[in-house]
């Protein structure tokens, strides 16, 4: 049984854990370890280590920070398979999907390697006579990240590489359900030569989170998780005067127009609906069939799912693994019955799918629920599992209206061969990330990731240029190095209506 504990000030921190969580292998249902839950003491220790490391780290040259980030990039690239294996063993996702997760996180490290370019300020010469103005972006101090179970490597990597590249120090509180990847990342950070205390990990649950939210030594909080918790994080941390970005849940619509290539659309719906067992915030969970293309989509999806291998993620032929916990599997499975009771048609029942895996695993095959209407819970709730609903509508207008009214606004996709329809969709759809013939439009690291409405609380999206803005604060400097010693007091502001000569005189 592995024992996972905190990582503080560059080393494993064996505290006096009063509470612990259990870690399971979702493919077998066996407990494989325990994770210590932080109390105030461990959060204090992590924040103290991060605060102590901050002055020297923010003073470290961009050249040295960049060198360390390049090293981290190399280490991560070398260890992709090990990180992927950890993800599969605790989350359950299949190994090639887990490797893809690490690759998407690695992209953000690569983006952070360009921090010298990203932090460049502005300069204006001679704003007034002999007066120059320039701007700086400076780190905030100690910042924190709180992350969900479904991307135990990628979501922390969305946050900390850029935060530390900007000169901050970091405290991560990962999901207690699959905590090991964070410690592995912490070891790589140390091996990359990033000083002790710059990156710290505290494990735990709400108790640790609440201390982070109210800790006066933490300047900003990045959160990714469910909408209810995101709203709570946003409100609590903002009330404490912190900068906050809180990314929440989703109900992503994939619209299929009648002119789309139906083969492509059906394949994309299967990948986006059932990849990672539907436990992706950008998973397609509602397929919107426009203008009578629903029957063909259902038939094609049924044919593909009949050949889809559900099994232990470590097996190379598994396309979909188990769900993360037994409770989550049971909750997701219950929606098939709920949909049926609400009058929808179960076109594929995942409870009957053959599974190549141990009997104790948290299995559920892909499900397709047809003839779903917007008042049904299978439509309104975020199910977060391999359950895809189909809503049939007559027009693009109706599809856009559905998305507008849904409440979430993470991702939305359209499949079409009509450029006009695609352009209208891009302009009008109420979502932060849009795919055109791309079912999972997660932006590359040099754009930013974020949804609208109940999918994000805060102003700035995560990583990319928004990430640099989030993890820095601006400063504008006005300076004069000419005519020193010739200052004449004037109590008036420089006056826009006065002549240049008068202004020069008033500024001395
Ligand atoms: P979650 O909200 O249950 O947990 C997220 C984090 O918050 C964890 O670290 C957890 O320990 C902590 N937490 C849980 N309950 C808390 C509480 N009451 N008070 C304080 N902290 C609490 O989410 P999850 O189940 O781990 O992840 C799945 C959810 O995350 C889904 O809703 C999914 O859509 C969302 N998600 C969103 C994005 C995005 O980018 N928008 C990305 C990934 C996941």
Q: 3-class SS at 63?
A: helix
Q: 3-class SS at 187?
A: helix
Helix or strand (DSSP H, E) at 348:
strand 345-348
Q: What is the CATH number of the domain that holds 42?
A: 3.40.605.10
Q: Are residues 349 and 441 in the same domain?
A: yes
Q: How far is the CA of 462 from the centre of ligand 1 (A)?
A: 15
**Considering only CA atoms, which of 108, 60, 83, 72 is closest in space to residue 193?**
72
Q: Are residues 222 and 343 in the same domain?
A: no
Q: Integer distance in angstroms from the first to the last C-alpha of the chain? A: 74
Q: How far is the CA of 154 from the centre of ligand 1 (A)?
A: 14
Q: Are residues 258 and 199 in the same domain?
A: no
pLDDT at 305: 98
Q: Is residue 106 part of a domain?
A: yes
Confirm if 343 and 337 have CB atoms less than 8 A apart.
Answer: no
Q: Are residues 126 and 27 in the same domain?
A: yes
Q: Is residue 496 part of a domain?
A: no
Q: Are residues 243 and 259 in the same domain?
A: no
Helix or strand (DSSP H, E) at 367:
strand 367-370
Catalytic hit among 113, 166, 281, 293? 281
Q: How far is the CA of 251 from the centre of ligand 1 (A)?
A: 15
Q: How far is the CA of 175 from the centre of ligand 1 (A)?
A: 8
- Closest residue (by CA) to atom 38 of ligand 1? 281
User: Which atom, in ligand 1's list, is nearest to the CA of 229?
Assistant: 2
User: Which atom, in ligand 1's list, is nearest to the CA of 384?
Assistant: 31
The most distant pair of C-alpha atoms in the chain lies apart, rounded to whole Å, by 87
Q: Are residues 127 and 256 in the same domain?
A: no
Q: How far is the CA of 153 from the centre of ligand 1 (A)?
A: 14
pLDDT at 502: 54
Confirm if 250 and 423 have CB atoms less than 8 A apart.
Answer: no
pLDDT at 500: 58
User: Which atom, in ligand 1's list, is nearest to the CA of 456?
Assistant: 41
Q: Is residue 492 part of a domain?
A: no
pLDDT at 504: 55
Confirm if 327 and 353 have CB atoms less than 8 A apart.
Answer: no
Q: Are residues 206 and 309 in the same domain?
A: no
Q: Is residue 480 part of a domain?
A: no
Mutate to test the pocket of ligand 1, among 20, 225, 245, 407 (most ligand atoms within 8 A of CB): 225
Q: Are residues 150 and 68 in the same domain?
A: yes
CA gap 493, 217 in Å, rounded: 38
Q: Are residues 130 and 238 in the same domain?
A: yes
Tokens standing for residue 4: 């996972």
Q: Are residues 42 and 157 in the same domain?
A: yes
pLDDT at 506: 54
Three-point CA angle 313, 149, 465, nearest 5°: 110
**DSSP line for 211-258:** HHHH-TT--EEEEES-HHHHHHHHHHHHHTT-EEEEE----EEEEE-T
User: Which atom, in ligand 1's list, is nearest to the CA of 250?
Assistant: 34
User: Which atom, in ligand 1's list, is nearest to the CA of 227?
Assistant: 32
Q: Is residue 44 part of a domain?
A: yes
Q: How far is the CA of 233 from the centre of ligand 1 (A)?
A: 10
Confirm if 363 and 350 have CB atoms less than 8 A apart.
Answer: no
The single residue listed with the structure tokens 């299967």 is: 270
Q: Are residues 122 and 135 in the same domain?
A: yes
pLDDT at 177: 98
Q: How far is the CA of 434 from the centre of ligand 1 (A)?
A: 23
Q: Is residue 504 part of a domain?
A: no
Q: Is residue 405 part of a domain?
A: yes
Q: How far is the CA of 472 from the centre of ligand 1 (A)?
A: 25
- Counted domains in the chain: 2
Active site residue 113: no
What pTM was computed for the model? 0.96
User: Which atom, in ligand 1's list, is nearest to the CA of 151?
Assistant: 43
- Closest residue (by CA) to atom 36 of ligand 1? 225
User: Which atom, in ligand 1's list, is nearest to the CA of 462?
Assistant: 40
Q: Are residues 350 and 465 in the same domain?
A: no
* Ranges of residues in the chain whose predicted pLDDT is under 70: 496-508
Q: Is residue 503 part of a domain?
A: no
Mutate to test the pocket of ligand 1, among 21, 37, 148 (most ligand atoms within 8 A of CB): 148
Q: What is the CATH number of the domain that holds 373?
A: 3.40.309.10
pLDDT at 498: 57
- Closest residue (by CA) to atom 17 of ligand 1? 206
**Domain of 54, in residue numbers:** 2-249+458-473
- Closest residue (by CA) to atom 40 of ligand 1? 247
Pocket residues: Cβ below 6 A from ligand 1:
146-151, 155, 173, 175-176, 205-206, 209, 224-226, 229, 232, 247-250, 281, 382, 384, 410, 451, 455
- Closest residue (by CA) to atom 9 of ligand 1? 175
Mutate to test the pocket of ligand 1, among 4, 204, 226, 277 (most ligand atoms within 8 A of CB): 226
Query: Crossing angle for the helix pair 154-165 and 62-78, nearest 10 degrees?
Result: 160
Model pLDDT for residues 448-483, shown as the tens digit of each residue: 999 999 999 999 999 999 999 999 999 999 999 988
- Closest residue (by CA) to atom 19 of ligand 1? 206
């Amino acid at each position: 049984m592995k024992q996972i504990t905190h990582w503080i000030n560059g080393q494993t921190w064996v505290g006096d854990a009063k509470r612990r969580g259990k870690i399971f292998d979702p493919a077998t249902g066996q407990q494989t370890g325990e994770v210590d839950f932080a109390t105030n003491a461990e959060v204090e220790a992590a924040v103290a280590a991060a605060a102590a490391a901050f002055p020297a780290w923010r003073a470290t040259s961009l050249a040295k920070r960049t060198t360390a980030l390049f090293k981290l990039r190399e280490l991560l690239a070398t260890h992709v398979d090990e990180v992927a294996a950890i993800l599969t063993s605790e989350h359950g996702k299949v190994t090639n999907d887990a490797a893809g997760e690490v690759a998407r996180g690695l992209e953000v490290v690569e983006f952070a390697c360009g921090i010298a370019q990203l932090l460049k300020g502005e300069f204006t010469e001679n704003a007034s006579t002999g007066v120059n103005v320039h701007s700086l972006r400076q780190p905030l101090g100690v910042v924190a990240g709180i992350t969900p179970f479904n991307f135990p490597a990628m979501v922390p990597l969305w946050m900390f590489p850029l935060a530390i590249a900007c000169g901050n120090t970091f405290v991560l509180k990962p999901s207690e359900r699959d905590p090991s990847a964070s410690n592995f990342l912490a070891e790589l950070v140390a091996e990359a030569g990033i000083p002790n205390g710059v990156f710290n990990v505290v494990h735990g649950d709400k108790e640790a989170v609440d201390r982070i939210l109210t800790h006066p030594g933490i300047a900003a909080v990045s959160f990714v998780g469910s909408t209810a918790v995101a709203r709570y994080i946003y409100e609590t941390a903002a009330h404490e005067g912190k900068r906050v970005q809180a990314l929440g849940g989703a109900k992503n619509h994939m619209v299929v127009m009648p002119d789309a290539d139906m083969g492509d659309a059906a394949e994309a719906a299967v990948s986006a609906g059932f990849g990672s067992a539907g436990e992706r915030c950008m998973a397609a969970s509602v397929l919107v069939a426009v203008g009578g293309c629903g029957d063909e989509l259902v038939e094609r999806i049924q044919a593909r799912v009949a050949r889809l291998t559900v099994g232990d993620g470590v097996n190379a032929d598994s396309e979909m693994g188990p769900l993360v916990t037994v409770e989550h599997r049971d909750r997701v499975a219950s929606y098939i019955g709920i949909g049926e009771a609400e009058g929808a048609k179960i076109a594929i029942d995942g409870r009957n799918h053959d599974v190549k895996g141990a009997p104790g695993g948290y299995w559920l095959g892909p499900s397709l629920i047809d003839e779903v209407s917007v008042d049904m819970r299978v439509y309104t709730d975020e199910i977060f599992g391999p359950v895809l609903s189909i809503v049939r509508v007559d027009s693009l207008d109706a599809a856009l209206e559905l998305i507008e009214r849904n409440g979430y606004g993470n991702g939305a996709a359209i499949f079409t061969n009509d450029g006009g329809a695609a352009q209208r969709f891009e302009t009008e759809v109420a979502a932060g990330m849009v795919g055109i013939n791309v079912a999972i439009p997660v932006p590359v690291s040099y754009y930013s990731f974020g949804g609208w409405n109940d999918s994000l609380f805060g102003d700035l999206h995560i990583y990319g240029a928004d990430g640099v803005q989030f993890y820095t604060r601006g400063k504008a400097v006005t300076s004069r190095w000419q005519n020193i010693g010739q200052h004449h007091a004037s109590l008036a502001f420089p006056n826009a209506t006065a002549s240049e000569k008068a202004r020069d005189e008033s500024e001395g």
